[in-house]
Amino acid sequence: MKATINNIQIDLSKPLDISIPLTNNEQNPIAWYQNRPEIEPVTMGDWIGKVSEGKSSTNFNNIFFNPHAHGTHTECLGHITRDFYSINQCLKQFFFTAELISVEPKVVGEDLIITKEQIEIALGENSPEAIVIRTLPNPESKKHLNYSNTNPPYLEEAAAIYIREKGIQHLLIDLPSVDKEHDEGKLLAHKAFWNVKDVNQVNEDARFNCTITEMIYVNEEIQDGSYFLNLQFASFENDASPSKPVLYKMF
């Protein structure tokens, strides 16, 4: 099935899902020093909400998780501000042109950093609405890592500024954060991308409609280049929500 949106033809029959599913076992990625998610049937007395237990006609699970720590999630600037802003209110459009780039972070001291120069070279003259960053190397083990206390790669502030100045509204990356794990709360890349100058009183020109999506996984079969992005998320009134970004080839 093909569709034409804004004079762009896309193949809807071949979605390229770049999200990581939420599970309650060791396969689930973890960050920020949390335990794995919990997905368990409701228990009330001797009644268990699980058909296979023989006492329920339905499966009826409770789920406990943290969107920032347990998989693919999309966040708005409310993630770093004193005042409350919800991803469900900030993001009202869900289809975007996107450019997928692959970058091998540079070694700087004890860190691995994605630099402005790398982003600039990879994007070239392209100015998409969204950028999808795949870091190299790209083993499938990324989908199951415990990132806590591992100092993962991150985006330098200048790179985030460059992405913002290119007019890119949505930043997707296969890391637990665009910022350094232990950065004394500076959150330089987050602030630079959203153009937040003061988290206690957000400036009027902050980018309220822009999002950051972290902990994606883009497999090796998906080639760098231009795509159409459907950025889906659950309707949580929260700074972030678990999400399901899907790419489509454009013709």
Residue 240 inside a domain? The answer is yes
Q: What percent of the chain has pLDDT over 70?
A: 99
Q: Establish if 50 belongs to a structural domain.
A: no
Q: Is 174 a residue whose pLDDT tops 90?
A: yes
Q: What integer is the mean pLDDT of 215-221?
A: 97
- Tally of domains within the chain: 1
Q: What is the mean pLDDT of residues 212-232?
A: 97
Residue 59 domain-assigned (yes or no): no
pLDDT at 11 > cutoff 80: yes
pLDDT for position 217: 98
**Average model confidence (pLDDT) across the chain:** 96
pLDDT at 44: 95
| Reported confidence tier of residue 200, pLDDT bands at 50, 70, 90 | very high
State the CATH number of the domain containing residue 191: 3.50.30.50
Can you list the pairs that 111-115 forms with residues at least 24 positions away whose Cβ atoms lie under 8 Å? Answer: 111/151, 111/153, 111/154, 111/180, 112/151, 112/152, 112/153, 112/154, 113/153, 113/154, 113/155, 113/156, 114/153, 114/154, 114/155, 114/156, 114/159, 115/156, 115/158, 115/159
Domain containing residue 176: 2-22+67-249
Rounded Cα distance between 77 and 199, Å, is 9
Instruction: Output the pLDDT for position 54.
Output: 85
Confidence of residue 7 (pLDDT cuts 50, 70, 90): confident
Per-residue pLDDT tens over the stretch 60-85: 999 999 999 999 999 999 999 999 99
State the pLDDT at residue 170.
Answer: 98
Do the strands 47-48 and 43-44 form a parallel or antiparallel pair, or are they unpaired?
antiparallel
**Mean pLDDT, rounded, for 118-123:** 98
* pLDDT > 90 fraction of the chain, expressed in percent and rounded: 94
236 token code pair: 């949580």
What pLDDT was estimated at residue 60?
97
Confidence of residue 231 (pLDDT cuts 50, 70, 90): very high
- Contact (Cβ atoms closer than 8 angstroms) between residue 172 and residue 201: no
What pLDDT, on the 0 to 100 scale, is given for residue 251? 85
CA–CA separation, 125 vs 109, rounded Å?
31
Residue 112 lies inside a defined structural domain of this protein: yes
In a domain, 158, yes or no: yes
Tokens of 83: 């005042």
When mean pLDDT is compared across 51-55, 75-79, 234-238, the lowest value belongs to 51-55
DSSP lists the bridge partners of residue 250 as 10
Q: Which long-range contacts (CB under 8 A, 24 or more apart) does 197-203 make?
A: 199/80, 199/81, 199/82, 200/82, 201/82, 202/77, 202/81, 202/83
Q: Which one, of 134, 130, 121, lies nearest residue 164 by Cα? A: 130
Lowest mean pLDDT among 1-5, 56-60, 79-83: 1-5
Cα–Cα distance for residue pair 184/163, rounded to 1 Å: 23
Secondary structure element (H or E) that encloses residue 191, with its range: helix 188-194
- Residue 2: pLDDT over 80: no
Question: Quick check: 141 pLDDT over 90?
Answer: yes
Q: What is the pLDDT of residue 55?
A: 83
Whether residue 105 is contained in a domain is answered as yes
Query: For residue 34, is it within any domain?
Result: no
Residue 62 lies inside a defined structural domain of this protein: no
